[in-house]
Structure 1
Amino acid sequence: MQTAIKLILTILLFGCLIDFPYGYYQFVRFAALVGFGYLAYCSNQQEYKNEAFIYLVLAILFQPFIKIALGRTIWNIVDVVVGIGLIVSLFLSKHTNK
Protein backbone atom coordinates (compact mmCIF):
# COMPACT_ATOMS: atom_id res chain seq x y z
CA MET A 1 0.00 0.00 0.00
CA GLN A 2 2.80 2.42 0.86
CA THR A 3 4.49 1.70 -2.47
CA ALA A 4 1.31 2.51 -4.37
CA ILE A 5 0.83 5.75 -2.45
CA LYS A 6 4.41 6.80 -3.14
CA LEU A 7 4.04 6.04 -6.85
CA ILE A 8 0.72 7.90 -7.11
CA LEU A 9 2.10 10.92 -5.26
CA THR A 10 5.18 10.93 -7.49
CA ILE A 11 3.06 10.92 -10.65
CA LEU A 12 0.81 13.67 -9.26
CA LEU A 13 3.78 15.81 -8.24
CA PHE A 14 5.50 15.45 -11.62
CA GLY A 15 2.14 16.29 -13.20
CA CYS A 16 2.36 19.68 -11.50
CA LEU A 17 5.07 20.60 -14.01
CA ILE A 18 2.40 20.64 -16.73
CA ASP A 19 0.10 23.64 -17.08
CA PHE A 20 -3.18 22.19 -15.76
CA PRO A 21 -6.23 24.06 -14.47
CA TYR A 22 -5.95 25.28 -10.88
CA GLY A 23 -8.28 22.53 -9.65
CA TYR A 24 -5.59 19.94 -10.41
CA TYR A 25 -3.15 21.63 -8.05
CA GLN A 26 -5.80 21.82 -5.33
CA PHE A 27 -6.42 18.09 -5.79
CA VAL A 28 -2.68 17.37 -5.58
CA ARG A 29 -2.43 19.34 -2.34
CA PHE A 30 -5.31 17.40 -0.79
CA ALA A 31 -4.00 14.04 -2.07
CA ALA A 32 -0.52 14.90 -0.77
CA LEU A 33 -1.93 15.80 2.65
CA VAL A 34 -3.75 12.48 2.88
CA GLY A 35 -0.92 10.44 1.32
CA PHE A 36 1.89 11.94 3.36
CA GLY A 37 -0.26 11.78 6.48
CA TYR A 38 -0.79 8.06 5.92
CA LEU A 39 2.91 7.51 5.21
CA ALA A 40 3.78 9.41 8.40
CA TYR A 41 1.37 7.23 10.38
CA CYS A 42 2.78 4.00 8.89
CA SER A 43 6.36 5.11 9.48
CA ASN A 44 5.55 6.01 13.07
CA GLN A 45 3.91 2.60 13.60
CA GLN A 46 7.07 0.92 12.28
CA GLU A 47 9.11 3.19 14.55
CA TYR A 48 10.87 4.97 11.70
CA LYS A 49 10.73 8.31 13.51
CA ASN A 50 12.87 10.26 11.02
CA GLU A 51 10.72 9.17 8.08
CA ALA A 52 7.56 9.90 10.03
CA PHE A 53 8.80 13.42 10.76
CA ILE A 54 9.70 14.04 7.10
CA TYR A 55 6.30 12.82 5.90
CA LEU A 56 4.55 14.94 8.53
CA VAL A 57 6.43 18.05 7.40
CA LEU A 58 5.54 17.26 3.78
CA ALA A 59 1.87 16.82 4.73
CA ILE A 60 1.94 20.24 6.38
CA LEU A 61 3.77 21.81 3.43
CA PHE A 62 1.27 20.52 0.87
CA GLN A 63 -1.92 20.91 2.95
CA PRO A 64 -4.59 22.90 1.10
CA PHE A 65 -6.14 24.84 3.98
CA ILE A 66 -3.48 27.44 4.76
CA LYS A 67 -1.61 27.78 1.49
CA ILE A 68 2.08 28.48 1.49
CA ALA A 69 2.80 30.89 -1.36
CA LEU A 70 6.18 30.01 -2.83
CA GLY A 71 5.60 30.98 -6.45
CA ARG A 72 5.30 28.60 -9.38
CA THR A 73 9.05 28.17 -9.95
CA ILE A 74 9.80 27.27 -6.33
CA TRP A 75 6.79 24.92 -6.17
CA ASN A 76 8.02 23.17 -9.33
CA ILE A 77 11.41 22.66 -7.70
CA VAL A 78 9.75 21.37 -4.52
CA ASP A 79 7.56 19.00 -6.55
CA VAL A 80 10.55 17.56 -8.42
CA VAL A 81 12.71 17.20 -5.30
CA VAL A 82 9.91 15.50 -3.35
CA GLY A 83 9.05 13.28 -6.33
CA ILE A 84 12.67 12.18 -6.68
CA GLY A 85 12.83 11.64 -2.92
CA LEU A 86 9.79 9.35 -3.10
CA ILE A 87 11.38 7.35 -5.93
CA VAL A 88 14.61 7.01 -3.96
CA SER A 89 12.66 5.91 -0.88
CA LEU A 90 11.03 3.17 -2.96
CA PHE A 91 14.42 1.76 -3.93
CA LEU A 92 15.84 2.14 -0.42
CA SER A 93 12.87 0.41 1.19
CA LYS A 94 13.19 -2.51 -1.24
CA HIS A 95 16.86 -2.95 -0.37
CA THR A 96 16.29 -2.78 3.37
CA ASN A 97 13.40 -5.25 3.21
CA LYS A 98 15.52 -7.97 1.55
Structure 2
Amino acid sequence: MIRIIKIVLASLLLLCLLDMPYSFFQLVRFVSMAGFVFLAYTANENNSKNEMLLYVLLAILFQPFEKIALGRELWNIVDVIVALFLLITLKRK
Protein backbone atom coordinates (compact mmCIF):
# COMPACT_ATOMS: atom_id res chain seq x y z
CA MET A 1 0.00 0.00 0.00
CA ILE A 2 2.80 2.43 0.91
CA ARG A 3 4.59 1.63 -2.37
CA ILE A 4 1.47 2.44 -4.35
CA ILE A 5 0.94 5.73 -2.52
CA LYS A 6 4.54 6.78 -3.11
CA ILE A 7 4.37 5.88 -6.82
CA VAL A 8 1.06 7.72 -7.28
CA LEU A 9 2.33 10.81 -5.45
CA ALA A 10 5.59 10.85 -7.41
CA SER A 11 3.69 10.47 -10.69
CA LEU A 12 1.29 13.28 -9.85
CA LEU A 13 4.12 15.58 -8.83
CA LEU A 14 6.00 14.89 -12.06
CA LEU A 15 2.83 15.52 -14.07
CA CYS A 16 2.79 18.99 -12.52
CA LEU A 17 5.73 19.82 -14.79
CA LEU A 18 3.38 19.70 -17.77
CA ASP A 19 0.98 22.45 -18.78
CA MET A 20 -2.10 21.30 -16.88
CA PRO A 21 -5.32 23.11 -15.91
CA TYR A 22 -5.36 24.78 -12.51
CA SER A 23 -7.92 22.27 -11.21
CA PHE A 24 -5.31 19.52 -11.66
CA PHE A 25 -2.91 21.36 -9.36
CA GLN A 26 -5.68 21.72 -6.77
CA LEU A 27 -6.36 17.99 -7.00
CA VAL A 28 -2.65 17.27 -6.59
CA ARG A 29 -2.60 19.39 -3.42
CA PHE A 30 -5.50 17.45 -1.87
CA VAL A 31 -4.15 14.04 -2.88
CA SER A 32 -0.61 14.95 -1.79
CA MET A 33 -1.75 16.21 1.58
CA ALA A 34 -3.79 13.05 2.21
CA GLY A 35 -0.96 10.81 1.00
CA PHE A 36 1.68 12.53 3.13
CA VAL A 37 -0.59 12.41 6.20
CA PHE A 38 -1.01 8.67 5.68
CA LEU A 39 2.73 8.21 5.18
CA ALA A 40 3.39 10.24 8.34
CA TYR A 41 0.95 8.05 10.26
CA THR A 42 2.59 4.83 9.07
CA ALA A 43 6.07 6.22 9.77
CA ASN A 44 4.92 7.07 13.30
CA GLU A 45 3.53 3.55 13.73
CA ASN A 46 6.95 2.21 12.67
CA ASN A 47 8.69 4.50 15.20
CA SER A 48 10.47 6.43 12.46
CA LYS A 49 10.18 9.90 13.96
CA ASN A 50 12.44 11.70 11.44
CA GLU A 51 10.54 10.26 8.50
CA MET A 52 7.23 11.10 10.20
CA LEU A 53 8.32 14.71 10.71
CA LEU A 54 9.36 15.02 7.06
CA TYR A 55 5.99 13.71 5.85
CA VAL A 56 4.14 16.08 8.19
CA LEU A 57 6.14 19.00 6.80
CA LEU A 58 5.38 17.87 3.24
CA ALA A 59 1.67 17.59 4.11
CA ILE A 60 1.78 21.17 5.40
CA LEU A 61 3.63 22.36 2.31
CA PHE A 62 1.14 20.77 -0.08
CA GLN A 63 -2.05 21.44 1.91
CA PRO A 64 -4.67 23.25 -0.21
CA PHE A 65 -6.32 25.42 2.44
CA GLU A 66 -3.70 28.13 3.05
CA LYS A 67 -1.65 27.96 -0.12
CA ILE A 68 2.04 28.68 -0.04
CA ALA A 69 2.89 30.79 -3.09
CA LEU A 70 6.33 29.76 -4.36
CA GLY A 71 5.89 30.55 -8.03
CA ARG A 72 5.71 28.06 -10.89
CA GLU A 73 9.47 27.58 -11.28
CA LEU A 74 10.12 26.94 -7.59
CA TRP A 75 7.12 24.63 -7.31
CA ASN A 76 8.49 22.63 -10.27
CA ILE A 77 11.81 22.22 -8.44
CA VAL A 78 10.04 21.19 -5.24
CA ASP A 79 7.86 18.72 -7.16
CA VAL A 80 10.88 17.06 -8.79
CA ILE A 81 12.85 16.87 -5.53
CA VAL A 82 9.92 15.38 -3.60
CA ALA A 83 9.11 12.94 -6.43
CA LEU A 84 12.73 11.78 -6.54
CA PHE A 85 12.77 11.43 -2.75
CA LEU A 86 9.64 9.26 -2.87
CA LEU A 87 11.08 7.06 -5.62
CA ILE A 88 14.42 6.71 -3.82
CA THR A 89 12.64 5.63 -0.62
CA LEU A 90 10.98 2.86 -2.63
CA LYS A 91 14.41 1.35 -3.30
CA ARG A 92 15.54 1.79 0.30
CA LYS A 93 12.94 -0.44 1.89
Q: TM-score, normalised by structure 2?
A: 0.99
Task: Report matched runs for 1:43-54 at 5 Å.
Answer: 43-54=43-54
Find the aligned partners of 2:55 and 2:90 in 1 and give their Cα distance: 14
Find the aligned partners of 1:58 and 1:89 in 2 and give their Cα distance: 15
Q: Give the aligned partner of residue 25 of structure 1.
A: 25
Task: Report matched runs for 1:1-98 at 5 Å.
Answer: 1-93=1-93
Find the aligned partners of 1:11 and 1:67 in 2 and give their Cα distance: 21
Structure 1 outlier segments of 4+, above 4 Å: none
Kindly name which structure, 1 or 2, has the bigger radius of gyration based on alpha carbons.
1
Over the aligned positions, Cα root-mean-square deviation in angstroms equals 0.3
Residues matched between the structures, number: 93
Q: Which runs of 5+ in 2 are unaligned?
A: none
Percent of aligned pairs with the same amino acid: 52
1:35-86 deviation digits (Å, cap 9, x = unpaired): 0000000000000101000000000000000000000000000000000000
Find the aligned partners of 1:60 and 1:14 in 2 and give their Cα distance: 19
Q: Which runs of 5+ in 1 are unaligned?
A: 94-98
